[in-house]
Amino acid sequence: MMKTRRWHKAQEYERSYWIKTAEKIVDGSTGQLGWYEWKFSEMEKRLLLHIPIERYNLLKILEIGCGPVGIVSYINRGSRYGLDPLEEFYKSNITLTKLRDPRVQYLVGTGEQIPFEEDFFDLVISDNVLDHVCNTNVVMEEIIRVLKTGGFLYLIVNLRTRSGTQFHKILSRLLIDKGHPQSFDVLSIRNLIGRFHLSIVSESISDYRDARLRDMRSLSIKDNIKGYTGLSEFLYHAVCQKF
């Protein structure tokens, strides 16, 4: 079980990351969080293979760990909620939140304690969240609790190889990687999903070899280190259904 103190260290790192991102947006060295729109388009393509459009228009949707904007602001249909432990910080910074859809209800909270009743949501979104949480099992229990039978979990998480995951766990414990207290490989994320009454109805896994080559060719020393030590991350997408 991840100690709470370790998770708070990760949250300090997360806050620092977003402060720096806001500064870069202001000075023009980075864009205004446009990747959320791309993430939304990728999600919708996958979901519409499994959810009829007429049902999709009426969904109750929750994004946990949504960050300052989230995919949820781009869905533009249904009842939408965003949940993040840093919400008080985000909403105080207009640079980070000006792309928000005002029809989304943003709340302070964690995936370990989702402030909704059982069987409330048709869709829960977890994008780049599970490697940031304090307790992955409790988060999954909470997702199952608030998700209706027949509802969907849309999951994105960064993976490493088996050896890369073991190496990363050491770096995480030593706080060399402060922002990611958890780490997953393909087998461990599938096992986690399977333990919680979820069926994987579709999944895709990006190529580790491409990710490693990209890191090794990067101009960033940090990326180079990841590539040459086997720590390169590759993306896992899954649409899961509760039965």
pLDDT at 60: 97
| H helical segments located in the chain | 4-27, 35-47, 53-56, 87-91, 94-97, 136-146, 162-173, 186-194, 208-217, 221-229
Q: In this structure, are residues 136 and 216 in contact, taking their beta carbons and an 8 Å threshold?
A: no
C-alpha span between 21 and 49 (Å, rounded): 34
C-alpha span between 159 and 178 (Å, rounded): 17
pLDDT at 120: 98
Q: In this structure, are residues 201 and 240 in contact, taking their beta carbons and an 8 Å threshold?
A: yes
Residue 234 phi, psi (nearest 5): -135, 155
Region class of 197: left (phi > 0), else alpha (psi between -120 and 50), else beta: left
Task: Give the percent of the chain with pLDDT over 90.
Answer: 89
SS3 category, 17: helix
SS3 category, 215: helix
Structural domains of the chain sorted by starting position, each given as residue range(s) with its CATH number in brackets: 4-157+191-207+234-242 (3.40.50.150)
Query: Is residue 1 pLDDT above 60, yes or no?
Result: no
pLDDT at 165: 96
- Range 188-216 average pLDDT: 96
C-alpha span between 168 and 153 (Å, rounded): 26
Order across the sheet with 147-159: list the strands: 105-108, 79-84, 60-64, 121-127, 147-159, 234-242, 198-205
Name the nearest CA neighbour of 129 among 120, 121, 119, 138: 138
- Range 44-66 average pLDDT: 94
Query: Is residue 2 pLDDT above 60, yes or no?
Result: no
The two three-digit tokens of residue 176, written as one number: 């060399």
Query: Is residue 103 pLDDT above 80, yes or no?
Result: yes
Query: Is residue 49 pLDDT above 90, yes or no?
Result: yes
pLDDT at 65: 97
Query: Is residue 30 pLDDT above 90, yes or no?
Result: no
In terms of pTM, does the model score above 0.85? yes
Name the nearest CA neighbour of 109 among 133, 128, 92, 131: 133
- Range 5-20 average pLDDT: 94
